[in-house]
Amino acid sequence: MQWEIVKDSVVIELYGRMSEDEYMAFGLSGANGRSQMVNGDVVVAFYDKSQMRFRVEDYYISHLSQCDGKQGVCPDERIGGKNDAILSKFCA
């Protein structure tokens, strides 16, 4: 992982080897000073087989369960937020 502040944004680069059915994620803890998944804000990077391209999605973790549309590990867009993650480049 590498990160850099560019103007009003934080650019985060994730490096890893993964197959088409795997993903990588990076996020901010849901608690100050310690690691905590609940209330965390994360970006998930994955290969979308149906669209045949890499994608990134912004998620919020309100509970350690599957998203039910209101709570759980949900894409921001599904719970009224927006997907702030931007895929700028990737290496195959």
Which pLDDT tens digit goes with each residue over 12-64? 888 888 888 999 999 999 999 999 999 999 999 999 999 988 899 999 999 99
Residue 91 reports pLDDT greater than 60: no
Question: Backbone phi, then psi, for 85, in 5-degree steps?
Answer: -80, 135
Report pTM: 0.82
Please give the Cα distance from 17 to 14 (Å, whole number).
10
Please give the Cα distance from 88 to 67 (Å, whole number).
27
Give the contacts of 23 (CB within 8 A, at least 6 positions apart).
44, 45, 46
69: left (phi over 0), alpha (psi -120 to 50) or beta: left
Confidence label for 92 from pLDDT (cuts 50, 70 and 90): low
